[in-house]
Amino acid sequence: MLSHEENEALCRVGRGTPMGKVMRRYWHPIALSEELPEPDCKPIRAELLGEKLVVFRDSEGKVGVLQESCMHRGASLALGRVEDGGVRCLYHGWKFAVDGTILDTPNNPDPRVKQRLKQPCFPVREEGGLIWTVVGAKKGEEPPFRRYSFMDAPAEHRLALRINVKCNYLQLWEGGADSSHVGILHAESASPGWLNDEPTRDSRASNPANLAVVDNAPTFEIENTDYGFHYAAMRRAPNAQGEPEVVNVRVVPLIMPTGRIIPAPNSFLTVFETPDNDGQTSTFIVQHGYSKPDREEMLELLGMDDPAVYDPETHNLTVDWGMGLGQKRDQMDEHWSGMKGVEHEDAAMALSMGQIFDRTQEHLVAADGAVVRLRRCLLDSIKAVEEGEEPLGATMEDLTQVSVTSDAPLDRPWQAVGHHYEIPPQAAE
């Protein structure tokens, strides 16, 4: 259980807040590359840690991240024209390059304005199908940009998705840290046949929930790492003779400040819970692996193929309490949750807590160990920044190490399960 003060410190991410100061020491994904499909296409609005941004792709294909409001009179640049090397404000025609340089001021011919002023801009990288930025860092003092294994995968072996959810980032990230809910909330995906008390593994190799079959009370072990921590959820699973002689080891790294990597039989899902503001989160999911991802299968698995749940144009999860968060009660005689897929289920649980959950009211048990460790990492990082030090993992550049899950013998330590992932040359052909 947290105190009210601790809960506020963890959840508030705006400028000047304890967690806001921590979050501003890392790069964050703010958009999918596919949201800017070509040079001079429509700009998009974004928000990161309460900072309102506009993201655009110029005539040469370079991406810019600028303050959304035009420095002249405050109109939104997201309404502007992207042309001839910059984004032009629709109000008075001021045009800005990706680095904030003023290219044109039609209503003011004095060249000194262009020489003296710049539109506030932010560092930007485009990697792994995502557009990344960092806010709050002085020019030349940006934190190191991190590399994840999905960035090195061939583009055809990678799928990037986005879901915007109207709740605080921590509710979603704690859900990602919590392995004990997987076989219960996601029973439809984790244990087909649960209705007849004959649970089996889901046949879809892209489904991470099918590694949580049979045992709903896994044993946990947690280890601290330079990037945060990783945990092993160990479930007893029967061998071919029906005897519990093996353990399914589900190893999940939790990467400061909002990331995790989830193993599936044929791929990995790297997930970031990017805080747009205190009350909304953009969840970015990148699937990569040995085989080419099936977009339609993944959308169905997540529950994002249902237009009543997810709007692919805005990337918004569209359910609310007016529609019971999308739950279909009349189907629950045969469907565990009455919800479409794992992302819908996870997001609905987080939404049901309210925009910011009051953690002074909870009652934790041993199965919540990873959630407790996650909060400790965040609180320790707040303290580090207050003392003039870097938060956990902020200086790390190489995060290409990922988790693997397997059925390991009972006498084999879970740490022996491999952690490095590479696509074999033949898989990339």
Please report which confidence band the pLDDT of residue 420 belongs to, taking 50, 70 and 90 as the band edges: very low
User: What pLDDT sits at residue 184?
Assistant: 83
Residue holding tokens 């790297």? 270
Distance CA 27, CA 255 (A): 12
**pLDDT-derived band at 226, boundaries 50, 70, 90:** very high
CB neighbour list of residue 39: distance below 8 Å, 6 or more residues apart = 57, 58, 59, 60, 61
Say whether pLDDT at 77 is over 80: yes
Does pLDDT of 408 surpass 60?
no
Task: Supply the pLDDT for residue 202.
Answer: 57
pLDDT digits (tens, 9 = 90+) for 296-316: 999 999 999 999 999 999 999
Query: Tens digit of pLDDT for each residue in 93-137?
Result: 999 999 999 999 999 999 999 999 999 999 999 999 999 999 998
Q: 424 pLDDT band (50/70/90 cuts)?
A: very low
pLDDT over 60 (residue 292): yes
Whether residue 410 has pLDDT greater than 90: no
CA 32 to mean position of chain CA atoms: 12
Average pLDDT, the chain: 88
pTM for the full predicted model: 0.90
Comparing 109 with 206, the larger pLDDT belongs to 109
Domain ranges across the chain: 39-133, 147-428
Q: pLDDT tens digit string along 342-376?
A: 999 999 999 999 999 999 999 999 989 999 999 99
Residue with tokens 């105190």: 3
| Lowest pLDDT segment from 31-40, 112-121, 132-141, 259-268 | 259-268
Instruction: Look at residue 289 in the predicted model and tell me its pLDDT.
Output: 85
**Judging by beta carbons within 10 Å of its beta carbon (0-12, 13-18, 19+), is residue 339 exposed, middle or buried?**
buried
Residue 28: closest CA among 171, 190, 155, 143 = 143
pLDDT category of residue 427 using cuts at 50, 70 and 90: very low
Tell me what pLDDT residue 197 has: 64
According to CATH, the superfamily of the domain at 147-428 is Naphthalene 1,2-dioxygenase Alpha Subunit; Chain A, domain 1 (3.90.380.10)
The pLDDT of residue 422: 41
- Could you tell me where the DSSP H helices lie in 157-215? 169-177, 182-185, 187-190
In which residue are the tokens 């993992």 written? 393
DSSP letter at 101 equals: B
pLDDT at 429 over 50: no
- The residue-averaged pLDDT of 372-392 equals 97
Give dist(CA 106, CA 309) in Å, integer: 45
State the average pLDDT over residues 19-48: 98
Per-residue model confidence as pLDDT tens digits over 42-53: 999 999 999 999
pLDDT band per the 50, 70, 90 thresholds, residue 419 = very low
Calculate what percentage of the chain has a pLDDT beyond 70. 83
In Å, what is the CA distance from 159 to each residue of 33, 274, 290, 303, 349?
A: 11, 18, 12, 16, 25
Of all residues in the chain, the percent with pLDDT exceeding 90 is 69
Which residue has better confidence, 235 or 166?
166
User: What is the pLDDT, as a whole number, of residue 119?
Assistant: 98
At the top level of CATH, the class of 39-133 is: mainly beta
Q: What is the pLDDT of residues 145-203, one digit of tens each?
A: 999 999 999 999 999 999 999 999 999 999 999 888 887 888 777 666 655 666 555 55
d(CA 123, CA 401): 25
